Amino acid sequence: MINKIDETRKSFDEDLSKVDSFASLEELRIKYLSRKGLVSQLFESLKDVSKEDKPKVGQSLNQLKIHTQSKFDEMKETFENNENKSESFVDLSLPGRIRPIGSKHILTQTLDEIKNIFKGLGFSVYEGPELESDYNNFEALNFAPDHPARDMQDTFFVTEDFLLRTHTSPVQVRLMTEKKPPLRAIMPGKVFRNEAISAKSYCLFHQVEGLYVDTDVTFAELKGTLVAFAKQFYGQDVQYRFRASFFPFTEPSAEMDVWWQPKGKEGRWLEVLGCGMVDPNVLKNVGIDPEKYVGYAFGMGVERTAMLKYGIGDIRILFDNDKRFLTQF
């Protein structure tokens, strides 16, 4: 009798594991738990068990009954829950779910725009590494080892001879070393400076360098190119001016300012780029004959340019990844 009880329990468990619908659950109920089901039949045969075995067999039978009934109830509840859920889930009147599509960061958009304008002016695009040698970043550009101009830029040194480039000008050195003139290219990329972070300066930003080397390049052409760029980028009525300046790698050197007029506030001149005629010493350093070739170069900050164009007051917001800011563009 005890064996039979065990067998019934086992076959119940097995049948239960196969239940996959209300119909098969009902079949299970009829087979085991109905009035004529297997469990009732076992109770029926309890009367044939000897007196001394009855308590033990009775106890096993009760356990079987509890087991089968509770497992059945559990399964029924699961089925009912699922059914309720799937009924309330399908609400055909709900609007579809919107999956937001990403967009280009405002800096990438600005860089793309700058690149496209210069491509239209006949420049190709050339890139160099962010980890640069001290030689390319400073020395070849006419910054002597103890040149005070090195203090203009606070450098992240990686070793004594290698650093995170502080400007994109070393890409000029790479381009002029690798290729022969005539050369006309812009060189965009990230630059790094060990400066205190504030609304105006960040440890990382982007620059676009420009270089044109040929036998008959003039300062007037440099100016014409930069003005053409400014008109396309900022608008035909942009107000600009050139000021004399100093960079070790250009002679003469200048800076270009653009008039910034925030709404309802006082306007002012903002420096947007540095430029000049490539210093003959730089040409010599890269093996180009300065008697035969001349060049002009320029370098502009992308963040600066974007901030000016879109009226952004704090550079840090460009690196915060705040969706409320980013989705405006």
Positive/negative CA dihedral, 284, 289, 291, 295: negative
Site track for ligand DAH across 158-197, x = CB under 6 A: ---------x-x----------------------------
Q: Which of 202, 205, 247, 293 touches ligand DAH by CB under 6 A?
A: 247
Q: Which of 299, 303, 306, 315 touches ligand DAH by CB under 6 A?
A: 299
The residue among 8 and 250 lying less far from ligand DAH, judged by its C-beta, is 250
The residue among 39 and 226 lying less far from ligand DAH, judged by its C-beta, is 226
Q: Which of 68, 136, 225, 250 touches ligand DAH by CB under 6 A?
A: 250
Stretch that binds ligand DAH, among 107-115, 196-204, 236-244, 268-276 (CB under 6 A): 268-276
The least distance separating ligand DAH from the CB of residue 232, rounded to whole angstroms, comes to: 20
The least distance separating ligand DAH from the CB of residue 236, rounded to whole angstroms, comes to: 25
Stretch that binds ligand DAH, among 31-39, 212-220, 233-241, 292-300 (CB under 6 A): 292-300
Binding flag, residue 298, ligand DAH (CB under 6 A): yes
The least distance separating ligand DAH from the CB of residue 296, rounded to whole angstroms, comes to: 7
The residue among 19 and 275 lying less far from ligand DAH, judged by its C-beta, is 275
The least distance separating ligand DAH from the CB of residue 226, rounded to whole angstroms, comes to: 11
The residue among 39 and 258 lying less far from ligand DAH, judged by its C-beta, is 258
The least distance separating ligand DAH from the CB of residue 326, rounded to whole angstroms, comes to: 27
Binding flag, residue 275, ligand DAH (CB under 6 A): yes
Residue type, 51: K
Is 39 within 8 Å of 65 (Cβ atoms)? yes
- Give me the residues that bind ligand DAH (CB under 6 A), please: 167, 169, 209, 247, 250, 274-276, 297-299
